[in-house]
A and B are shown apart, each in its own frame.
Chain A
C-alpha cells in the first residue's frame, strides 16, 4: 500500500471517531434539553407570583425605604455575578457571556464603580484565573443542572456583601450576567441589575389590571423584609435554570455542526483515498504492461 493512501486512511479513521463522539454529545444534549426546558417552565409560576407580590408591596406602601430597594446616591462598588458553564464543547456560550460581563465592567468602570466579580461555572472561574483577576466568590459543578441549595448559597453570599457598607467592603449594586433562553435556536446573553430592585415585566402572561389593594399581614415592611431575599434568590435560581437550558441548547447546536463538519470531511477524504487507490492501481498496471512490453521486445530482439 502506498504511503499516501495509508495517511489518508488514518485521517479517515480519526475523523470517524471524532464524528462518533460529537454525535453522541449531540444526542446527550438533545435528550437533556427537554428536561432543562421543563425545569425553566416549572419554575415560571413561582417566579411570576413572587414578582407580583413584590410589585404589590412596593407600589402599595408608597415611598419604600428599604435597604434592598433604595437607589444608592453614589455607587462605589458593584458585585457582578457571572453564570457560565462547567464544561466546554458548547460553541460561543461562555465567550458570549464573558464578553457581556466585560462590557458591563467597562460601563461600571466609566461610572467610577469598582467591580467585585463572582463566577459560577468552571469556565468562568478559569477565565478569571488565567487573567489573574480576583474573584470574590466562585461556585462550580452544577451548571447544567442547577440546584436550589446552590442558588441559596450564592444569594446568601451576595446579600451578605450587600448588607455591609462600602467602607466595610460591601457593595451598592448587584448585577447578574447570564444567558436568557429565548428558544431552542436563540439564546441571548443578558445583564440584569437585581439589587437595588428594578421591577420589570417577566415575559409570559401580563399582569391584568391594576395591582389590587392588598392588606399585609403582619405589616408591609415585615412582608417586604421577608419577600425580598426570596425574590433575589428566585431571580438567581431562575437565571441559573435559563443558563443551564441555554448551555445545553448551545452544546447541542455546536455538536451538531461539528458532526456535520466531520461527515463532510469524511466524504472528501474518502474521495481522496479512492483517488489515491486508483492512482496506485493504474500505476501498477502501467508498470506491468511496460514490463511485459520490454520483456516481449527483448525476446523478439534476441531471435
Chain B
C-alpha cells in the first residue's frame, strides 16, 4: 500500500505520484503520514518543507529517495490514503535556482525592517527554497 500524493498550487500541479510517507511541518509540529492515517486537515507552517518519501525506499533510509518541496503557506488534507497538499506557492527542491533565490533573499534582507521584527513571508519562503535545494546556511 502506498499513499497517493498531489502537490497543487493555484496555477496547477507541482508534483503527483506515489509515496511511502509524507512529512510536513504543521503549526503544531511535525506530522508524518503513512498509509491508513485517519482523515486530517492541517495548516502547514509558513516557509517550511514537505518531504515526500519514495515508496521504494526502505524505512531505515528515509533521507535517500525523496522529493523535497518548499511551501510558502498552505494546508494538507489526508483521506483514504490520499494526501493533497495545497500551497499558495511551492517549488520542488530539485528545480530551485539556488543562486537566484540567494540573491533575492539578500536583497530582501538588506531592505528589511529593523532587526527583531518577524521576517516577512517572502523571506521565509526564500529560506525554505534554499533549504529545499540543499543549500545549508
Contact = CB atoms under 8 A, between A and B. Distances in A.
A227 B11 CA distance: 17
Q: Top 9 nearest A-B pairs by Cβ distance?
A: A42-B12, A217-B42, A212-B39, A214-B39, A214-B41, A46-B8, A215-B40, A212-B79, A218-B28
A52 interface: yes
A166 B43 CA distance: 31
B27 A217 contact: yes
Interface of A: 39, 42-43, 45-46, 49-50, 52-53, 56-57, 148, 151, 212-218, 222-223, 226-227, 230, 233-234, 237
A234 B84 CA distance: 16
A212 B31 CA distance: 19
Main secondary structure of the interface of A (DSSP, over half): helix
A49 B8 contact: yes
B38 interface: yes
B77 interface: yes
Contacts, number: 80
Interface in B46-105: 73, 75, 77, 79-80, 84, 86, 88
Contact of A53 (B9, B38, B75, B80): B75
Interface of B: 6, 8-13, 26-28, 31, 38-43, 73, 75, 77, 79-80, 84, 86, 88
A218 B40 CA distance: 10
Contact of A39 (B11, B40, B79): B11
B27 A46 contact: no
Contact of A222 (B6, B39, B43): B43
A217 B26 contact: yes
Contacts of A217: 26-28, 31, 40-43
Given A50-B86, A230-B88, A42 B41 contact: no
B43 A45 contact: no
Given A45-B12, A49-B8, A217-B26, 11 more contacts: A39-B11, A42-B11, A46-B12, A215-B39, A216-B42, A217-B27, A222-B27, A223-B42, A230-B86, A230-B88, A234-B10
5 contacts: A43-B11, A46-B11, A214-B77, A217-B28, A230-B75
Contacts of A216: 40-42
B39 A213 contact: yes
B9 A218 contact: no
B41 A57 contact: yes
A49 B13 contact: no
Nearest to B6: A45
Given A49-B84, A223-B75, A218 B43 contact: yes
Contacts of A230: 75, 86, 88
B23 to A, nearest CB: 14
Contacts of A218: 26-28, 42-43
B40 A214 contact: yes
Contact of B43 (A56, A226, A237): A226
Contacts of B75: 53, 223, 226-227, 230
Contact of B80 (A42, A45, A212): A212
